[in-house]
C-alpha cells in the first residue's frame, strides 16, 4: 500500500519542476541505468535521454552528449538522481529553444497541464476563484468554505480533498458525477481523499480534459500550476458548451453553403467562437481578422466594434474614439457588464493579451447576446441532417474521449473529421501496438496531396488486418471519405484490441495467453459468485443488466467498501435504473477505472460499452494485491503505488494510476 510519499527530492525548487508522474518515470529510468552497471555516469545519459519521447525527435545522441559536455568534462563522472534531473531540465530547455516554441496545440485543451512553465498567473487565479465563488455559492457542502480569498492559497488548500474539482466538473457538465459517490466529510482520511481525486481525474477525462501529466498525488499536494491548469480546462468546457450546432443551430448563419456546414461541425469550440466573432466584426465594418484571443484583441478595438454590433443600446462611439488601450478596455468591460457578463478579466488582462481570460470573456458575450437570428429553414434542416443520431453521437463521444486519454500528440475534436487523413489513427495504432507503424511511409498533417491521405489510411487498414481486425472489402479510401459506419466499427475493434492487450500484459494472471470476451464474462460471473451474490450475466447484451444490480455486486466483490448499498435501488423502474447506472459509473471511476460510457449505455445494455466497463473493472481488480481486498475494512489500494509494474504503468486508459498516461518526459 502506498503512503502518498511519492518520489522525494531534497532540493525543493528542483522537486517543484516535475510532477510525481514524471518523477517516477525518470526515477525508473535512472534506476534502470544504475542496475546495468551499478552506477550512473554522464556517459550513460545520452542513450537514456534519447529514448525519452520528449527528446527522441529533437536530438540525436551526439547532440545530447555535446550539451552534457558543457557541464561535465568527464564522461565517467558518477551522477546522483538530482544531477540526473538537472541534466534533464537543461536538455528540456534546449529542446524548447530548438523547437522555437512552435508546438502549439490544435485545441485550447491540449497543453493546459504541461509542466515546462510553472509560474502562476495571479489574474487567472483570481478569475477562476470568482467563478468558483459564483457557481458553487449555493452548494450545500461547498458554501461553508466560500467565498475563497484569491489573494491567499485558500484555493489550493480547498482542492486537496478533491471535492472542489468534482463539484466543478458537475457545474461544467451536469450529471457527470453522481454526487452520492463523492466523499464529503469535513475531515477525510488519505484513502477517502485519494478516492475523490481518482474520481475527479477519471471524470475530467470523461468530459474531455487532458490529464496526461497529472496524478492523484499531485492533487493531494495541490500543486498550483496543475490545479489551475485543470480548473482552467473545466471552466473552458463549461463556457464553450453551447458553441456547436446541436446546442445553437443558429450558428449555421456563420456559413455560406452546405460544404461550410460540414467544416463548422468539425471545428473545435474555440475556433467556432472566433468564427462567430469575426462574422459580427465584418458586419460592423471592422477590417481586421481576429485569429487569436491574445495579440489580436490587446488594443480593445475588436471588443468595441463587437459590443457596438451586438448591444448598441449599451455602447457608443466613446470606446472607439479614445486612443488609450487601457481606457478603451475599461469602457468595453463596463459595456459588457450591462449585458450581465461576469467579469473574467480586468482592463490590464485585455491590454496584456491574456488568452485564457479573453477567451472566457468572449464566451460570456456569446452566451448573453450571440446576435444570431433564426437562419433560413433550409440551412437549419441541413445542419440537423449533418448532426449525428443519438447512438452515433454517443459512440463518437466515447471513442474521441478514449483517444484523447491515450496521450497522443494530436488532440481530436471530431472523430469523423479528424481521422480522415489517417494520421490520428496511426498515432493510436502506434500507442496500442508499439512498433506497428512504419513512420517513413506516413505523411504528417497538414496534407495537401489527397493521395498522401489515402497512403496513410491504407497503412491503417494494413495494420488493422495484421492485428486480425475484421476489415473485409475495406480500403483506405473509405476512411478518407469519412464512412461513419466503417469508422465506428474500426474504432471499436481498436479499442477492444487495446483492452484485451492490457489484460494480456498482466502476465501473472494471463500467463501471456490471449484474452477473449468470454474470459472477461466468466471472470465477472465467478467474482460475483465467490462474493456470495446471486446475480449472473448470460452475455454482454443480457437485458437483466439494465437494472445495474450485477455491476454494483461486481464492484462490491472487487472492493467491498466502495459501494454504499443504502443508495442502491432495485432497478425496476426507469428512474431507479438511471439512479443505479449513474452511481455505477461514478463508483467505478472512484475505484480507478477510466471509462467513457454514459448511464444510457447501461440502461439500454449497449453490448460494446458493457464489455468496456467489465474489462476495466477486471483490469483494476487484477492489479490489486489479493490480501488488500479480503475484508470490509480494507482501504482501496492507492493508485499512487510507486512500485507498479511497467505493464501497469503503460495501461492507463482502462484503470487510472499516477503513471497512467505517458508523461511529457516518458519514452
Three cell numbers written together for 158: 480547498
pLDDT tens across 182-233, in order?
999 888 898 899 999 999 999 999 999 988 778 888 898 888 988 999 999 9
Burial 67-79 (b: 16+ CB within 10 A, else e): bbeeebeeeeeeb
Q: Are 361 and 131 in contact (CB under 8 A)?
A: no
Query: DSSP string spanning 84-148?
Result: HHHHHHHHHHHHHHHHTT----SSTTTTTT-SS-----HHHHHHHHHHHHHHSTT-TTGGGG-S-
Examine residue 344 and state whether it is found in any structural domain, yes or no. Answer: yes
Query: What does the alpha-carbon distance between residue 472 and residue 433 come to, in Å, rounded to a whole number?
Result: 21
Examine residue 661 and state whether it is found in any structural domain, yes or no. Answer: no
Band of residue 631 on the pLDDT scale cut at 50, 70, 90: very low
Query: What does the alpha-carbon distance between residue 218 and residue 238 come to, in Å, rounded to a whole number?
Result: 24
pLDDT for 478 beyond 80:
yes
Name the residue range of residue 478's domain: 390-506
Examine residue 443 and state whether it is found in any structural domain, yes or no. Answer: yes
Write down the pLDDT at residue 389: 66
Closest residue by Cα to residue 84 from 13, 14, 5: 14
Q: Are 545 and 610 in contact (CB under 8 A)?
A: yes
Does one domain contain both 279 and 307? Answer: yes
* End-to-end alpha carbon distance in the chain: 27
Q: Are 332 and 350 in contact (CB under 8 A)?
A: yes
Query: What does the alpha-carbon distance between residue 212 and residue 659 come to, in Å, rounded to a whole number?
Result: 9
pTM above 0.85, yes or no: no
Does one domain contain both 396 and 501? Answer: yes
CA distances from 505 to 390, 437, 517 (A): 35, 20, 16
Does one domain contain both 496 and 544? Answer: no
Examine residue 282 and state whether it is found in any structural domain, yes or no. Answer: yes
DSSP state of 422: S
Examine residue 488 and state whether it is found in any structural domain, yes or no. Answer: yes
Is the torsion defined by CA of 544, 548, 553, 558 positive or negative? Answer: positive
Burial (CB < 10 A; 0-12, 13-18, 19+), residue 115, is: buried
The partner residues of 41 in beta bridges, in order of sequence, read: 78
Residue 666 φ/ψ region, left for φ over 0, alpha for ψ in the -120 to 50 degree band, beta for the rest: beta
Number of domain units in the chain: 5
Three cell numbers written together for 609: 460499452
Does one domain contain both 186 and 146? Answer: yes
Does one domain contain both 498 and 568? Answer: no
Write down the pLDDT at residue 203: 96
pLDDT tens across 111-122, in order?
443 334 456 788
Band of residue 101 on the pLDDT scale cut at 50, 70, 90: very low
DSSP state of 78: B
Does one domain contain both 94 and 135? Answer: no
CA angle 215–219–221, rounded 5-degree value: 115
Band of residue 375 on the pLDDT scale cut at 50, 70, 90: low
Does one domain contain both 224 and 171? Answer: yes
Amino acid at each position: 500500500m502506498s503512503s502518498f510519499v511519492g518520489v522525494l527530492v531534497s532540493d525543493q525548487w528542483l522537486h517543484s519542476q516535475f510532477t510525481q508522474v514524471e518523477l517516477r518515470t525518470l526515477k525508473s529510468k535512472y534506476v534502470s541505468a544504475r542496475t546495468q552497471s551499478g552506477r550512473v555516469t554522464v556517459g550513460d545519459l545520452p542513450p537514456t535521454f534519447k529514448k525519452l519521447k520528449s527528446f527522441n525527435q529533437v536530438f540525436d545522441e551526439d547532440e545530447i552528449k555535446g550539451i552534457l559536455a558543457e557541464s561535465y568534462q568527464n564522461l565517467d563522472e558518477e551522477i546522483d538522481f538530482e544531477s540526473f534531473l538537472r541534466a534533464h531540465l537543461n536538455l528540456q530547455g534546449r529542446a524548447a529553444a530548438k523547437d522555437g516554441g512552435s508546438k502549439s496545440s490544435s485545441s485550447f485543451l491540449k497543453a493546459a497541464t504541461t509542466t515546462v512553465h510553472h509560474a502562476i498567473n495571479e489574474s487567472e487565479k483570481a478569475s477562476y476563484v470568482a467563478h468558483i465563488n459564483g457557481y458553487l455559492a449555493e452548494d450545500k457542502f461547498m458554501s461553508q468554505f466560500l467565498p475563497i480569498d484569491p489573494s491567499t492559497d485558500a484555493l489550493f488548500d480547498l482542492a486537496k480533498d478533491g471535492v472542489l474539482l468534482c463539484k466543478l466538473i458537475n457545474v461544467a457538465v451536469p450529471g457527470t458525477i453522481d454526487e452520492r459517490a463523492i466523499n464529503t466529510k469535513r475531515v477525510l482520511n488519505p484513502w477517502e481523499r485519494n478516492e475523490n481525486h481518482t474520481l475527479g481525474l477519471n471524470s475530467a477525462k470523461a468530459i474531455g480534459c487532458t490529464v496526461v501529466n497529472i496524478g492523484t498525488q499531485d492533487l493531494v499536494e495541490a500543486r498550483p500550476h496543475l490545479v489551475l491548469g485543470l480548473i482552467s480546462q473545466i471552466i473552458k468546457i463549461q463556457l464553450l458548451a453551447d458553441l456547436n450546432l446541436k446546442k445553437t443551430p443558429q450558428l449555421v448563419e456563420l456559413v455560406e453553403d452546405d460544404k461550410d456546414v460540414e467544416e463548422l461541425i468539425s471545428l473545435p469550440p474555440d475556433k467556432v467562437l472566433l468564427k462567430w466573432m469575426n462574422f459580427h466584426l465584418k458586419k460592423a465594418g471592422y477590417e481586421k481578422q481576429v485569429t487569436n484571443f491574445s495579440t489580436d484583441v490587446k488594443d480593445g478595438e475588436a471588443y468595441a466594434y463587437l459590443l457596438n454590433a451586438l448591444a448598441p443600446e449599451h455602447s457608443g462611439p466613446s470606446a472607439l474614439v479614445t486612443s488609450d488601450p487601457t481606457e478603451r478596455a475599461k469602457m468595453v468591460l463596463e459595456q459588457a457588464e450591462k449585458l450581465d457578463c461576469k467579469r473574467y478579466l480586468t482592463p490590464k488582462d485585455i491590454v496584456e493579451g491574456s488568452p485564457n481570460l479573453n477567451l472566457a470573456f468572449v464566451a460570456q458575450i456569446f452566451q448573453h447576446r450571440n446576435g444570431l437570428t433564426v437562419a433560413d429553414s433550409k440551412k437549419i434542416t441541413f445542419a440537423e441532417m449533418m448532426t449525428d443520431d443519438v447512438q452515433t453521437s454517443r459512440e463518437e463521444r466515447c471513442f474521441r474521449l478514449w483517444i484523447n486519454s491515450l496521450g497522443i500528440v494530436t488532440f481530436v475534436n471530431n472523430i469523423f473529421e479528424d481521422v480522415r487523413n489517417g494520421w490520428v489513427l496511426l498515432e493510436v495504432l502506434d500507442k496500442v501496438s508499439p512498433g506497428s507503424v512504419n513512420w517513413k511511409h506516413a505523411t504528417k498533417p497538414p496534407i495537401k496531396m489527397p493521395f498522401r491521405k489515402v497512403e496513410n489510411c491504407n497503412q491503417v487498414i494494413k495494420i488493422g488486418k495484421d492485428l486480425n481486425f475484421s476489415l473485409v472489402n475495406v480500403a483506405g479510401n473509405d476512411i478518407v471519405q469519412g464512412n461513419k459506419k466503417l469508422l465506428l466499427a474500426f474504432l471499436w475493434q481498436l479499442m477492444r484490441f487495446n483492452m484485451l492487450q492490457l489484460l494480456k500484459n498482466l502476465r501473472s494472471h494471463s500467463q501471456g495467453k490471449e484474452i477473449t470476451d468470454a474470459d472477461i464474462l466468466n471472470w465477472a460471473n465467478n467474482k460475483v459468485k465467490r462474493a456470495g451474490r446471486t446475480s449472473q450475466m448470460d452475455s454482454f447484451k443480457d437485458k437483466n443488466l439494465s437494472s445495474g444490480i450485477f455491476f454494483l455486486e461486481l464492484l462490491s466483490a472487487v472492493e467491498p467498501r466502495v459501494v454504499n448499498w443504502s443508495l442502491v435501488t432495485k432497478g425496476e423502474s426507469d428512474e431507479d435504473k438511471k439512479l443505479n447506472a449513474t452511481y455505477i459509473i461514478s463508483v467505478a471511476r472512484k475505484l480507478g477505472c477510466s471509462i467513457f460510457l454514459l448511464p444510457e449505455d447501461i440502461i439500454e445494455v449497449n453490448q460494446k460499452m458493457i464489455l468496456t466497463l467489465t474489462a476495466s473493472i477486471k483490469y483494476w481488480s487484477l492489479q490489486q494485491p489479493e490480501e488488500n481486498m479480503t475484508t470490509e475494512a480494507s482501504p482501496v489500494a492507492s493508485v499512487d503505488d510507486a512500485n507498479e509494474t511497467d505493464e501497469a504503468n503503460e495501461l492507463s486508459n482502462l484503470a487510472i494510476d499516477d503513471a497512467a498516461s505517458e508523461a511529457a518526459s516518458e519514452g
